[in-house]
Chains A and B, each alone.
Chain A
C-alpha cells in the first residue's frame, strides 16, 4: 500500500554519505541542546511562579512595642488583630527563638544575644483573595499598633524578573541554536552543490527548473534534519525522564522542578528542525542557482 502511494524512485542527487552523517550528528546535538534549554526554561519558570505564589500568599509584620508593653505582647496583639482581617488565613507571632533562627545564618550565633531582634508576625494570606498590605496596615493602626507590613513585593518582583530573564535567555538560546542549524544546512547545501555541479548542470540541461533543483536539496536536508531532530529530541526525552525519575516529585531540585508533561514540549522538535533545514536549504540553493550556478 505504502509502495503504491509512494513509488520508490532513485534520488536525482547522489548521496554524500560522509558529509550527511556529520551534518545529521551536528543537527542532532543542536536539537538536544535546544530541547534541554526549552525544558530548563519551562522548569525555571515553573519554579519562579511557585516561589512568587508563595511570596504572594505571605506577609511579614514588624511590630514596635509601645511604652509599657513588651515586644512579645505587642506581637501577640498584632497577630490577634490580623487574624480577624478578611483575606488573612492565619497570623502567628514569631517568638524570639524563631526570629534568631532566621538571623543566625546571616550574622552568626555569637552576636545574637546582644542584638535587638525585631518582633515579627507571620501572616498567611488567603490564596484566592489575599488582603493587601494597605488593608493590613490600616487594621494594625486602628488597633493602636506601631507596625510595618512587608508583603514581600520586592522579593516577588526580583523572582519574577529572574524568571522572565531565564525565559528570555532560553528563547535566545533556542533561536541561536535554530540559526546555527540553519547555517550548517546552508553551508552543507552550498558545499553539496559545489561538489555536484556536474549533476546540477545535467539536470538543468534536461529541463529541471531552479525550483525543482532547490526542491531536491530542500527535501534531502529537510528530511535529514527531521530525522536528526527526532534523535536529539529522543535523547533529550530520555535525559529529562531520567532526571525526573531520579529527582522524585521535585524533578532535580526545587530550583528546577521537572514534570512529566515537559516531555510533550519536545515533540515538535523534529518538525521544527526539518522546517528550519528545509527553508535554509531552499534559500541557499536558489541563491546559488540564481548566481548562474
Chain B
C-alpha cells in the first residue's frame, strides 16, 4: 500500500493575496494620505499602481509591507488579517513578500552578494544552499561581476537592479515594487519588467507602483490609479 501526499483542495489556497477594506491612513490629523481604499489583488495577478506624485502610492506600499498600520479599515495578506496581527507575526508576512524600495534600502556595509542573500539568510537558509541562487540572480540582473563590491561603489541603476534581485531571490508569493525602473535605462527597464512578468507567470502576485504609465500599459498588467489618496479604479 502506498501513501500519497494530500493534495491541497481549493479551499486551502488563499485566493486573495492582498485585500484592503476601507483603508485610511493619515500622517497627521489634518493630512489624510489614504482615504477609504478598497483593493483586492488575487493570487497570481499583476497590477501597476499609477498616480501623480503625492497621490498616496508610497503610503499604500508602506501599509502593504507592514511598515505602517492603517488608521482605519483592515488589511488582509495571504488570507490573514494583518491589521490585528501581533508584532511577532510580522516577519512571517514579510518573508512571503519581496519589496523593492524607491530609495533601494541597501546595506552599505555588506557586499552585493550578501545584500541579495539577505532575505534567504534571515529565513534561516545555509550559505551553501543559497549561494547558487544568489549568483544566478546577480547574473540575471547584470551584476554577476560585481558580487564582491559594496553598494556605495554602484551607480543608481546598478543599485536599483541589486534591490530588485534582493526582492525576488527568495521567490516570494507577493512582490511589491516602488518605481523599480526609475533609475535604469529603457532597455534595462524592459528587461526588469520581463523579470517581473516571468515571476508572475510562475504564480507570484506582483504590484508595481510607477509614474511611468507608458511602461505600465506596455506590460499588459491591470492598472490601478490613486488620486488624492483615493483609489479611483482602473486607469484609462
Task: Give residues in A with beta carbon < 8 Å to B.
Answer: 7, 9-10, 12, 14-15, 198-199, 201-210, 212, 290, 292
B67 x A205 contact (CB < 8 A): yes
The 5 tightest CB contacts between A and B, nearest first, are A207-B95, A14-B109, A209-B91, A207-B94, A207-B122
A12 x B107 contact (CB < 8 A): yes
Contacts of A207 in B (CB 8 A): 91, 94-95, 119, 122-123
Give CA–CA (A205, B95) in the complex, Å.
Answer: 9
Give the B interface residue count (CB, 8 A).
Answer: 25
Among the stretches B76-84, B110-118, B177-185, the one at the interface with A is B110-118
Task: Give residues in B with beta carbon < 8 Å to A.
Answer: 65, 67, 87-88, 90-91, 94-95, 99, 105-111, 114, 118-119, 121-123, 127-128, 166
Total inter-chain residue pairs, C-beta < 8 Å: 58
Known: A201-B105, A205-B65. A10 touches B114 (CB 8 A): yes
Contacts of B118 in A (CB 8 A): 12, 202-203, 206
Give CA–CA (A203, B119) in the complex, Å.
Answer: 8
B94 x A12 contact (CB < 8 A): no
Q: Which of A198, A204, A209 contacts B88 (CB 8 A)?
A: A209
Give CA–CA (A203, B90) in the complex, Å.
Answer: 12
B105 x A208 contact (CB < 8 A): no
Q: How far is the CB of B121 from chain A (nearest CB, A)?
A: 7
Q: How far is the CB of A17 from chain B (nearest CB, A)?
A: 12
Contacts of A7 in B (CB 8 A): 127-128
Apart from A12-B107, A201-B67, what 6 extra A-B contacts exist at CB < 8 Å? Answer: A9-B127, A204-B91, A204-B94, A206-B119, A208-B122, A292-B87
A10 x B87 contact (CB < 8 A): no
Give CA–CA (A201, B99) in the complex, Å.
Answer: 13
Give CA–CA (A10, B107) in the complex, Å.
Answer: 11
Known: A205-B94, A207-B95, A290-B87. A212 touches B122 (CB 8 A): yes
Give CA–CA (A10, B91) in the complex, Å.
Answer: 22
Q: How far is the CB of B61 from chain A (nearest CB, A)?
A: 11
Give CA–CA (A209, B128) in the complex, Å.
Answer: 23
Q: Which of B95, B110, B166 contacts A12 (CB 8 A)?
A: B110
Give CA–CA (A49, B55) in the complex, Å.
Answer: 81
Give CA–CA (A292, B87) in the complex, Å.
Answer: 9
Contacts of B94 in A (CB 8 A): 204-207
Q: How far is the CB of B2 from chain A (nearest CB, A)?
A: 37
Known: A9-B121, A201-B105, A205-B67. A210 touches B88 (CB 8 A): yes
Q: How far is the CB of A286 from chain B (nearest CB, A)?
A: 11
Q: Which of A15, A206, A210 contacts B122 (CB 8 A)?
A: A206
Question: Which of B90, B107, B118, B127 has most A Cβ within 10 Å?
Answer: B107
Q: Which of B105, B106, B111 contacts A10 (CB 8 A)?
A: B111
Q: How far is the CB of B231 from chain A (nearest CB, A)?
A: 24
A210 x B127 contact (CB < 8 A): no
Contacts of B109 in A (CB 8 A): 10, 14-15, 199
Contacts of B111 in A (CB 8 A): 10
**CB closest residue in chain A, given B99:** A205
Provide a sorted-by-A list of 6 A–B residue pairs whose CB atoms are within 8 angstroms: A7-B127, A15-B109, A202-B118, A204-B91, A210-B88, A212-B91
